[in-house]
Amino acid sequence: MRGTLDSEQCVTENDSGPPVAELIARVLRRHSVERVFGLCGGHIMPLWIGVHTAGIPIIDVRDERAAVHMAQAHAELTGQLGVALVTAGPGITNAITGIANAQISRAPVLVLSGTVPGPQINRGALQELDQSNLVRSITVYASTVSDSLQALYEVENAAARALGLIGEPGCAFVDFRADVWAAQSSPASQVPLKIQLRIPTCLDKDVISQAVELLLSAKRPLVISGRGARSAKQTLLRFLDRLDVAYIDTGETRGLVPATHPAFVGAVRSRVMNEADVVVTVGRRLDFQLAYGSPAIFKHARFIRIADIPSELRDNRRGVVEIFADPGESLDAIIELAGNRPVVRDRQWLRSLRQEHRLRSEQLSQTMANAAPGSDGRMHPYRLLGAIQAQLPPDAILVIDGGDFLSFARIGLSAPTVLDPGAFGCIGVGVPYGIAASLACPERSVVVASGDGAFGFNAMELDTAVRHKARAVFIVGNNGAWQIEVHDQMVRYGKSVGTRLRFSDYAAMARAFGMRAERIEDANDLAGAITRALAQPPALLDVVITPEAVSPDAKSGLATVPDLQALAVWDQAEREWRARPTRVTLED
Judged by CB, which is closer to ligand TPP: 442, or 552? Answer: 552
- Describe the crossing of helices 90-104 and 64-78 by its angle, rounded to 10 degrees: 30
Which H, E and C letters describe 469-510, residue by residue?
Answer: CCCEEEEEEECCECHHHHHHHHHHHCCCCCCECCCCCHHHHH
183's contact among Mg ion, ligand TPP, none, with CB below 5 to 8 A by partner kind, is: none
Span from 129-137, 236-244, 450-458, 516-524 in contact with ligand TPP (CB under 6 A): 450-458
| 483 touching Mg ion, by CB under 5 A | yes
Catalytic residues: 485
Choosing from 479, 499, 546, 565, the residue that interacts with Mg ion (CB under 5 A) is: 479
Half-sphere exposure of 307 (CA within 13 A, CB side): 28
What 3-state DSSP class applies to 50?
helix
CA distances from 1 to 4, 79, 156, 333, 465 (A): 9, 12, 18, 15, 34
Contact between 413 and ligand TPP (CB under 6 A)? Answer: no
Binding region for Mg ion (CB under 5 A) out of 85-93, 362-370, 416-424, 474-482:
474-482
Selected from 420, 452, 542, 571, the binder of ligand TPP by CB under 6 A is 452
Beta carbons within 8 Å of 523's beta carbon, 6+ residues apart: 373, 379, 383, 384, 387
Using the minimum distance from each CB to ligand TPP, give the nearer residue, 41 or 456.
456
Cα separations in angstroms, 572 against 291, 327, 556: 12, 34, 12
Q: Between 103 and 483, name the residue whose CB sits nearer to Mg ion.
A: 483
Residue 251 in contact with ligand TPP, rule: CB under 6 A = no
C-alpha to C-alpha distance for 524 and 152, rounded to whole angstroms: 58
Q: Is 253 in the site for Mg ion (CB under 5 A)?
A: no
How far apart are alpha carbons 465 and 52 in whole angstroms? 19
Contact letters (x/-) for Mg ion, 409-448, by CB under 5 A?
----------------------------------------
CA distances from 78 to 72, 108, 109, 181, 308 (A): 10, 10, 12, 30, 19
Nearer to ligand TPP, 105 or 483 (CB): 483
Which amino acid would we find at residue 208?
A: I
By DSSP bridging, strand 194-195 and strand 5-6 are: antiparallel
Nearer CB in complex with Mg ion: 213/505 = 505
Residue 64 as a binder of Mg ion (CB under 5 A): the answer is no
Task: Report DSSP letters for 437-458, one per residue.
Answer: HHHH-TTS-EEEEEEHHHHHHT
Counting residues that bind ligand TPP (by CB under 6 A) gives 18
**In the complex, minimum distance from the CB of residue 86 to ligand TPP, in angstroms, rounded to a whole number:** 19
Per CB under 6 A, the list member of 323, 481, 523, 533 interacting with ligand TPP is 481
Q: How far is the CB of 133 from ligand TPP (least distance, A)?
A: 24
What backbone phi and psi angles, to 5 degrees, belong to 166? -135, 45
451 counts as binding Mg ion under rule CB under 5 A: yes
Tell me if 273 contacts ligand TPP by CB under 6 A: no
Among 399, 427, 473, 523, the residue binding ligand TPP under the rule CB under 6 A is 427
The region of 218-226, 259-267, 383-391, 424-432 touching ligand TPP under the rule CB under 6 A is: 424-432
- Closest separation in Å from C-beta 100 to ligand TPP: 11
Contact status: 542 vs ligand TPP (CB under 6 A): no
Burial class of 422 by CB neighbour count within 10 A (0 to 12, 13 to 18, 19+): buried
Residue 404 near residue 483, CB atoms below 8 Å: yes
451 interacts with ligand TPP by CB under 6 A? yes
The rounded distance, in Å, linking the Cα atoms of 102 and 96 is: 10
* Residue 420 engages ligand TPP in binding (rule: CB under 6 A): no
452 binds Mg ion (CB under 5 A): yes
Residue 411 contact among ligand TPP, Mg ion, none, beta carbon within 5 to 8 Å by kind: none
Q: Which residues contact 127 (CB under 8 A, 6 or more apart)?
A: 41, 43, 87, 88, 89, 90, 91, 115, 116
Binding mask 373-412 for ligand TPP (x = CB under 6 A): -----------------------------xxxx-------
Our CB check for ligand TPP shows the closer of 514 and 552 to be 552
CA distances, 571 to each of 115, 292, 301, 333 (Å): 46, 11, 18, 37
Provide the minimum distance between the beta carbon of 127 and ligand TPP in the complex, in angstroms, as a whole number. 24
| Residues at the site binding ligand TPP, with contacts judged by CB under 6 A | 402-405, 425, 427-428, 451-454, 477, 479, 481-485
| Residues at the site binding Mg ion, with contacts judged by CB under 5 A | 451-453, 479, 481, 483
